[in-house]
Amino acid sequence: MSDQHATEVISCTQLGKRYRLYHRPSDRLLDSLYARWQRLLGRRSRNSTREFRALDNVSFSLAHGEAMAIIGRNGSGKSTLLQLIAGTLDPTEGSIQVNGRVCAMLELGVGFNPEFNGVENARLYALMLGIPHSVIEERLPAILAFAEIGEFALQPVKNYSSGMYVRLAFAVIAHADPEVLIVDEALSVGDAAFQAKCMFWLRNFQKAGGSLLFVSHDIAAVRAICHRALYLEQGRVKAEGPTGEVTDLYLHDIHQSQNSALVPRPAILNQVTPPCEQGDEAFRLRSNAFEQRWIDKRQGTGDSRIRLVELLTPNGEPIGACAFNAEAIVRIHVECMKTAQVSVNYKIRDRHLVSVVGADFLISGHPLLEMRPGELHCIEYRTRLPLMNGDYSLRLSVTEPIEKHAQAVFHDIIEVALSFKVLPAEQGWIYTMAYLPNTVSVQPQGCGSVPIPPNTRKNPDYHA
């Protein structure tokens, strides 16, 4: 076995999963009887059903210690793929090789008996995962403490909320010593505090060399956790690679679909459109170069178009690398193709393409831009860059809000429009992605006190 295969914990080759679809339940029985009768007569059986391919020719591998995301729209085959890997489904074609103890959270409450209480279900679920009985009893107090379900541990799980189901299931898995963990959207139903605890556990699991397959529609979580991503569309692999690139393609498709629903006409952004004749010759040259660079890497309706972006110092000098907390100007040149009211937006993203900071007209309290065909506008955001040292990029977009902060038509989006670097801070190491200014006050004990508001003095639920 090669070194590459020796480090693979999951290897899937040309996986396929097909289902037969019947119009009526009785058709299933009749089809089975007819097929048996035809085999007895030595004839080829007639297939009177419709075939549905949930997965088609899916191949990928997961290395030891790697975290991989499976993304795609509902019905794309994500859950089917995970069930094949977990062994709860058999493939119609292809092969799967799994090395190591696999623990899976695929569906809410799978493995739980609704009539049993939490303690009994924890024992049963742990046995299903292959944990010896003696080890289960030793770890049971820690499992219940992690789950934080309190007195409900002795109540039937049929009385549990969805969040309590997840707490108990994840607590058992966290104490099952998994080598490969498969999680399918289950954590999304937990409360914020428990999600944070699970994310902390997942990071420690990865540091210890554990391998993770993670399905989620939360792209921020996917980018924060996973090294690579597999994008499924209608049961086939559409893309595989670094998480940032694959999730950008996924969001590109989502935006295009949203635009098609809101504005039912073809997008024009992948066609070269000559720049507006306004501006000097130097601007036109830079705009043309920008246009050619991003012609195949943008999305939207094309009703307005980003012609150029600049990251500048207050003196107008281009920024390639800057000091921590440096003043900066994000200058975006936008040309209008249609009469509309738009917001011109930017996000600063880290090397994993996780958004760190950003702004738009709505959050900044600026009126929407009233644009008319043929106009060229220069938008400037003046800000600071109080960021951890490292590599960053600008994501730009022009949107036409339909519902404030909830829905918009995307005129133009460029995912990685400009890259820059932030140098280490002279004040000391920054341990967070961004630093916000704070006012610090220190008072000796007894020399001053912070009064408790009168309406909270006798409130037993008040916590200072």
CATH value at residue 379: 2.70.50.60
* 365 shares a domain with 218: no
Structural domains of the chain, count? 2
Q: Return the half-sphere exposure (C-beta side, CA atoms, 13 A cut-off) of residue 76.
A: 19
Output the pLDDT for position 13.
93
Q: Is residue 460 part of a domain?
A: no
* 274 shares a domain with 370: yes
Q: Which domain holds residue 210?
A: 3-247
Output 425-432 pairs: Cβ under 8 A, ≥24 positions apart. Answer: 425/323, 425/324, 425/325, 425/389, 426/323, 426/324, 427/324, 430/324, 430/386, 430/387, 430/388, 430/389, 431/388, 432/388
Q: Is residue 441 part of a domain?
A: no
* 364 shares a domain with 327: yes
Cα 199 to Cα 67, 205, 208, distances in angstroms? 13, 10, 14
Output the pLDDT for position 58.
93
Beta bridge mates, 19: 52
Q: Is residue 85 part of a domain?
A: yes
Burial of 441 (0-12, 13-18, 19+ CB in 10 A): exposed
Q: Tell me, what amino acid is at 169?
A: A
Output the pLDDT for position 458.
44
pLDDT tens by residue, the chain, 464 residues? 444 445 889 999 999 998 877 666 666 666 666 666 655 555 555 555 667 888 999 999 999 999 999 999 988 999 899 889 988 889 999 999 998 888 888 766 567 888 999 999 999 989 888 889 899 999 999 999 998 888 899 999 889 888 888 889 889 988 988 899 998 876 666 677 787 888 888 888 988 999 999 998 888 888 888 989 999 999 999 999 999 889 988 988 887 777 666 665 544 444 444 444 555 778 888 888 887 776 667 788 889 999 999 999 999 999 999 999 999 999 999 999 889 999 999 999 998 888 899 999 998 999 999 989 989 999 999 999 999 999 999 999 999 988 776 688 899 999 888 999 999 988 888 888 899 888 999 988 865 555 545 554 444 443 33
Query: Which one of 247, 277, 311 terminates a domain?
Result: 247
Q: In whole angstroms, what separates CA 381 from the centre of its chain?
A: 28
Output the pLDDT for position 327.
95
Q: Is residue 455 part of a domain?
A: no
What is the Cα–Cα distance from 133 to 53, expressed in whole angstroms? 41
* 238 shares a domain with 347: no
* 116 shares a domain with 234: yes
* 42 shares a domain with 185: yes
* 189 shares a domain with 80: yes
Q: Is residue 432 part of a domain?
A: no
* 380 shares a domain with 339: yes
Tell me the CATH number at 71: 3.40.50.300
Q: Is residue 461 part of a domain?
A: no
- Helix count (H) and strand count (E) of the chain? 11, 19
Q: Is residue 329 part of a domain?
A: yes
CB 350 within 8 A of CB 356: yes
Q: Which of 247, 202, 245 is nearest to 67 (CA)?
A: 202
CB 419 within 8 A of CB 456: no
Starting at the edge strand found earlier in the chain, the sheet holding 93-98 runs: 50-63, 8-21, 93-98
Q: Is residue 51 part of a domain?
A: yes
Output the pLDDT for position 412.
92
Which two three-digit tokens encode residue 300?
Answer: 């939207």
* 144 shares a domain with 16: yes
* 362 shares a domain with 317: yes
* 233 shares a domain with 169: yes
Burial of 350 (0-12, 13-18, 19+ CB in 10 A): buried
* 194 shares a domain with 122: yes
